[in-house]
A and B are shown apart, each in its own frame.
Chain A
Amino acid sequence: MVSAAVMLSVVLALVWLLWLARDVGSRIASSRWIGALALALIPVWLYLVAWYAPIEAVQGIIQKIFYVHIPAIIPTYFGFVLAAIGGALYLRTRDDRWDQLAVAGAEVGVVFCTLMLLVGPIWAKPAWGHWWVWDLRLTTTLMLWFIYVAYLFLRSFAFGSDTAKTFTAVYGIAGIAAIPFVYFAVDLAQGSTLHPSNPAREGLPPEMGRTVGVGMITFIWIFAWLVAKRLELASLQARALVASRVGGA
Chain B
Amino acid sequence: MPWVVAAYAVTAVVLVGYALQLRAARSAALRDQQRRS
By secondary structure, the B interface counts as helix
Does A229 have its Cβ within 8 Å of any Cβ on chain B?
yes
By secondary structure, the A interface counts as helix
A143 surroundings in chain B (CB, below 8 A): none
Range of interface residues on A (Cβ < 8 Å): 20 to 34
CB contact list, B1-37 vs A, under 8 A? 1, 3-4, 6-8, 10-11, 14-15, 18-19, 22-23, 25-26, 29-30, 32-33, 36-37
CA–CA, A230 to B29, complex, Å?
A: 12
CA–CA, A118 to B8, complex, Å?
A: 11
Minimal Cβ-Cβ distance residue in A for B19: A226
Total cross-chain contacts (CB, 8 A)? 65
A244 to B: closest C-beta gap in Å:
7
B32 surroundings in chain A (CB, below 8 A): 240
Contact B18 A226 (CB under 8 A): yes
Given A111-B15, A119-B11, decide whether A233 and B29 contact each other with a Cβ distance below 8 A: yes
- Given A119-B10, A126-B3, A240-B36, 13 extra CB contacts under 8 A: A62-B4, A111-B14, A226-B18, A226-B19, A229-B23, A229-B26, A233-B29, A236-B26, A236-B29, A236-B30, A237-B29, A243-B37, A244-B36
Top 4 closest A-B pairs, CB basis? A236-B29, A65-B7, A122-B7, A115-B14
